Structure 1
Amino acid sequence: MRTALSASFLASLFLVTACAGKAQGDQAQEQAQGAPETKHDEGDMKHGHGEGHGHHAHGEGHGDNGHGYKGHRFENPADWTEHFESAERTAWQKPDEVVAALGLRPDAIIADVGAGTGYFAVRLAAAAPKGKVFAVDIEPGMVEWLGKRAKEQGLSNMIAVQGKSDSPALPEAVDVVFMCNVIHHIEDPTAYFAGVAGSLRPGGKVVIVDFRKDNPDDAPGPPAAMRMSVEQISGIMSAAGYHLAAENQDLLQYQVMLTYERD
């Protein structure tokens, strides 16, 4: 059985590495970039690079290549929040514009799956003040941090949720399931999204923001072997019982924003 850290957390590691320059794939580089120190759990090393990657355990295609974060445990979420939520990332991730593009009702119920440090979750909570945001992560330390952050920022409508590798484990049905930089971390995405369908309210949708397959090598994000085309993502979603309802190729420089509805 393979265990893992936050999907968005590790996706953010790709972002930091890519923005800082060519990745070297070791802990020394993290420290050189000013990243908070991580800790190896040698008991997890047997899981290969799949360890430490949120909902997935795909391993193949990236090994230690490029970033090499297998076996890490993130000790200080507050430090990582500052590191991952930099002005540099915000300039191209455009989180406020992404949230605006969702067109949320004030009373919407949203699941931010792979919420990590809460980069999007806090914005979603502000956009739906009369609704709820379930900030889902499978790393217990991050779930604890999300709950603390919600309390400190007075976001009573943001609820931290302990997810599972094969399910977001949502406590109630939602209007929107939002995922940013997560889908390529899911081990069996067809089964995962088929299960998610049961957690959507009538008219509900799944919104996926992820890196373009044809990004240049020096762009933020994971290696090309990990990136998925719109056709690949839509094939997964079709097999899970969804159809592509909207495709936004213009909002973000390095990512696409895809909206899926149940068939």
Structure 2
Amino acid sequence: MKKVAKTLLLFLFLLPWQPGIAQDKSPNANYTYKKGDPNGIGKWYMGREIAYVMGYQGMQWLDRPEREEEENTTTLLLNMGIEPEDNIADIGAGSGYHVFKMAKLAGRGLIYAVDIQDEMLEEINKRTERDQIKNVRVIKGGEKIINIAENSLDKVLMVDVYHEFNYPAEMLTSIKKALKSDGKLFLIEYRGEDGSVPIKKIHKMTEAQAIKEMKAAGLKLHRNIDNLPWQHCMVFIKN
């Protein structure tokens, strides 16, 4: 267990991705700016400091063999109740770890792999072409928008990525628009209430904080499925 924790900490926090764009510090009621955690960007939303994005250099770590044991990703996908015709967006899809698992379950639907790093998207494209996967669409997302049509998604998955959004309020607005009226948002974040989870505080989130931020976007907690080793599996629906 100690070896797993050390590996997790090494790869997750030593590879921040910093785009070559200056941080926008123009007046905005949603955000404040002050120094905080060394792993944070100095930008705060509703009392929470935003973390640096993990860089594409950690791509191989995303597909590590230990991930199933550490995160129980099989159970996560069961929690989602994926139907064959579901249209699902993986926001912050990375190298596509969850994308290709979901593509098998939603064989008559579409899986949208959304990321802001070209290197991640290129990796997904390579695998899609290599394995001739027909129901995966690669989408270049923005910092404020997911670039998916309104009212088109049955489900949205965000795994350990929301806390890194530079513009969480704007992103949630975009996600909510893309969800169908009965759509569900699956927010997966390391449990901030649990000191035994071997992750730095800025890369965790409490249920209370998540509810507060989602409520501001017009989303409410439907259920928090408490069956993952280290993470919350919070399901939000339109309010």
Q: Which residue of 1 aligns with 2:161?
A: 182
Letter of the 2:225 partner, please give it.
N
User: Does the 8 Å contact 2:157/2:185 carry over to 1?
Assistant: yes
* 2:205 aligned residue (215, 219, 228): 228
* 2:6 aligned residue (15, 19, 22): 19
Identity %: 22
Q: Which residue of 2 aligns with 1:134?
A: 112
Q: Are positions 1:240 and 2:227 aligned together? A: no
- Which 5+ residue runs of structure 2 have no aligned equivalent? 24-32, 41-50
Q: Which residue of 1 aligns with 2:140?
A: 162
How far off its partner does 1:227 sit? 2.0
Normalising by the residue count of structure 2, what TM-score does the alignment of the two structures yield? 0.78
Give me the whole-angstrom Cα distance separating, in 2, the residues matched to 1:62 and 1:209: 22
Q: Which residue of 1 aligns with 2:126?
A: 148
Q: Are positions 1:206 and 2:188 aligned together? A: no
Give me the whole-angstrom Cα distance separating, in 1, the residues matched to 2:177 and 2:21: 35
* 1:252 aligned residue (220, 225, 228): 228
SS in 1 for 2:183: strand
How far off its partner does 1:192 sit? 1.8
How far off its partner does 1:163 sit? 0.4
Moved more, 195-204 or 108-117: 195-204
Letter of the 1:262 partner, please give it.
K
SS in 1 for 2:181: strand
Give me the whole-angstrom Cα distance separating, in 1, the residues matched to 2:126 and 2:54: 22
How far off its partner does 1:20 sit? 2.2
Q: Which residue of 1 aligns with 2:96?
A: 118
SS in 1 for 2:114: strand
How far off its partner does 1:24 sit? 10
Q: Which residue of 1 aligns with 2:237?
A: 261
Give me the whole-angstrom Cα distance separating, in 2, the residues matched to 1:158 and 1:142: 14
User: Does the 8 Å contact 1:177/1:207 carry over to 2?
Assistant: yes
User: Does the 8 Å contact 2:79/2:225 carry over to 1?
Assistant: no
Q: Which residue of 2 aligns with 1:11?
A: none
Matches within 5 A, 1:69-80: 74=56, 80=58
Give me the whole-angstrom Cα distance separating, in 1, the residues matched to 2:9 and 2:103: 35
Letter of the 1:63 partner, please give it.
P
- Which 5+ residue runs of structure 1 have no aligned equivalent? 1-15, 31-37, 48-57
Q: Which residue of 1 aligns with 2:175?
A: 196
User: Relative to total residues, which structure has the larger strand share, 1 or 2?
Assistant: 2
Give me the whole-angstrom Cα distance separating, in 2, the residues matched to 1:226 and 1:169: 25
Equivalenced residue count is 219
Letter of the 1:261 partner, please give it.
I
Give me the whole-angstrom Cα distance separating, in 1, the residues matched to 2:54 and 2:90: 23
Give me the whole-angstrom Cα distance separating, in 1, the residues matched to 2:161 and 2:93: 9
User: Does the 8 Å contact 2:62/2:94 carry over to 1?
Assistant: no
